[in-house]
Amino acid sequence: MVEERLAQLLGMPSTCPHGNPIPGMPVPENHHPVPLSQAAVGQDLVVDRISEEAEADRQLLHFLWESGIRPGAQLTVSEIAPYAGTISISVEGRSITMGLVASGKIWVYDPAALAPRRPAPRVRAARGAVR
């Protein structure tokens, strides 16, 4: 009862403020997110969620929030230095470098992958053709 009323007051959110699904609520549209650590240089991405593991790390969560890295934020991967263990991104015109381990706790998706696709044209068999 209390949960239902609270959900109504909040507008029936399907995710927490960090983008993680709320148990028992409808699952949001699947964007096929991947960890930021798996992105490629030059990719334009959108933050889908901050993992629950990152939510448990107050310092990391504070760093992400202060850096503008939150669900819905647009970012571009500018450099990946695997041997140094870092990734550099641009968020809202700011350059941010973080460890690959931390970036693995940020789930992102490619907004271009959500663009509507035209259905494939229907091919009709010619008269008398064998199917």
Per-residue H/E/C for 3-55: HHHHHHHCCCCCECCCCCECCCCCCCCCCCCEEHHHCCCCCEEEEEEECHHHH
Q: Is residue 5 part of a domain?
A: no
The CATH number of the domain holding residue 87 is 2.30.30.90
Q: Given this model, what pLDDT does residue 49 score? A: 86
Sequential DSSP letters for 56-75? T-HHHHHHHHHTT-STT-EE
The total domain count for the chain is 1
What is the span of the domain harbouring residue 103?
A: 32-112
- pTM here is 0.73
Q: Is residue 117 part of a domain?
A: no
Q: Given this model, what pLDDT does residue 127 score? A: 61
pLDDT-flagged residues of the chain (< 70): 1-31, 115-131
Q: Given this model, what pLDDT does residue 53 score? A: 85
Q: Is residue 43 part of a domain?
A: yes
Q: Is residue 47 part of a domain?
A: yes
